[in-house]
Amino acid sequence: MASGSGDEGEGGVSWRLVGPAAVLSGKRCRLLHSSLGRDADVCLFYVKGEFFAMDARCAHSGGPLCEGDIEEADGVLQVFCPWHDYDFDLRTGKSGTSLQQKVYEVKLEEGNVYVKHGSRLSLQPFPADQKR
Ligand code: FES
């Protein structure tokens, strides 16, 4: 069973195929479900022609960052948590509040988007998620 801790048993951290860039770039943010459970879900942002991946639940109190506003200041793209408005740098996950959101590498290969992550990622919930 997914315990939400550690990433063993999932093959460790590796590049996870998410889907075609042409489809994924059609929305500003997609929620990627993790096979480790909802605490490990990932936001895949598409902003200004670039993909960014970070933990979907805010490091503060678990707010849904996929629903946050995105703003650019001095060339830095930030997402603002919809719950208490904390900012997180899309590239580094750093916040002006000193909290740190986990970010993940993203790569494009042959038109597909991959995210480097310790669990399987899917646009659809995993069966275990649906009971929650
Ligand atoms: S839960 Fe995100 S700022 Fe509080």
* Domain 14-116 fold: Rieske Iron-sulfur Protein (2.102.10)
- Count CB neighbours of 81 within 10 A: 25
What is the 116 CA–ligand 1 centroid distance (Å)? 25
Alpha-carbon separation of residue 40 from 35, 50, 97, 109, 120 (angstroms): 8, 22, 22, 24, 10
Distance CA 117, CA 41 (A): 10
Alpha-carbon separation of residue 62 from 11, 82, 128 (angstroms): 26, 10, 20
Give the 3-state secondary structure of residue 127.
helix
Q: Is the CB of 64 under 6 A from ligand 1?
A: no
| Residue type (1 letter), 62 | G
pLDDT at residue 99 greater than cutoff 90: yes
Q: Is the CB of 96 under 6 A from ligand 1?
A: no
What is the 7 CA–ligand 1 centroid distance (Å)? 25
Between 95 and 6, residue with greater pLDDT: 95
Q: Is the CB of 68 under 6 A from ligand 1?
A: no
The 10s digit of each residue's pLDDT in 69-93 is: 999 988 999 999 999 999 999 999 9
What is the 58 CA–ligand 1 centroid distance (Å)? 6
Atom of ligand 1 lying closest to residue 62 CA? 1
The 10s digit of each residue's pLDDT in 1-40 is: 444 444 444 568 999 999 999 999 999 999 999 999 999 9
Q: Is the CB of 5 under 6 A from ligand 1?
A: no
pLDDT at residue 46 greater than cutoff 70: yes
**Residue 66's closest CA among 48, 37, 50, 90?**
90
Q: What is the pLDDT confidence band of residue 128, given thresholds at 50, 70 and 90?
A: low
pLDDT at residue 131 greater than cutoff 70: no
What's the mean per-residue pLDDT of the chain?
A: 91
User: What DSSP assignment string belongs to 10-74?
Assistant: TTSSEEEEEEEHHHHTTSSEEEEEETT-GGG-EEEEEETTEEEEEESB-TTT--BGGGSEEEEET
